[in-house]
Amino acid sequence: MSPLITPGDLAALTAASVLDVRWALGGPPGIESYRQGHVPGAVFCDLEADLAAPPGPEGRHPLPEAGRFQDAMRRLGVSGSRPVVVYDDAGSTAAARAWWTLRYFGHPDVRVLDGGLRAWTSEGRPVSVEAPEPPPGDFTARPGGMPVLDAAAAAELAADGILLDARAAERYRGEVEPVDPVAGHVPGAVSAPTTENLDPSGRFHRPHFLRERFNTLGAVPGIAVGTYCGSGVTAAHQVLALEVAGIPASLYVGSWSNWVADPSRPVATG
Tell me whether strands 148-149 and 162-165 are parallel, antiparallel or unpaired: unpaired
Q: Which of 51, 164, 192, 229 is catalytic?
A: 229
The answer to whether residues 166 and 228 touch, using CB atoms and an 8 Å cutoff, is yes
Q: What does the alpha-carbon distance between residue 156 and residue 260 come to, in Å, rounded to a whole number?
A: 16
CA distances (Å), origin 256, targets 54, 61, 187, 200, 229:
16, 11, 12, 28, 6
Helix axes 234-244, 93-104, angle to 10 degrees: 80
Respond yes or no: is residue 229 known to be catalytic: yes
**Which residues lie across from 85 on neighbouring strands?**
18, 111
Q: Taking the mean position of all CA atoms in its chain, how far away is CA 116?
A: 13
How many other CB atoms sit within 10 Å of the CB of residue 112? 26
- Neighbour tally for 173: CB within 10 Å: 17
124 vs 162: CA distance, rounded Å: 42
**54 Cβ partners below 8 Å, 6+ apart?**
62
The pairing of strands 17-20 and 43-44 is parallel
Active site residues: 229
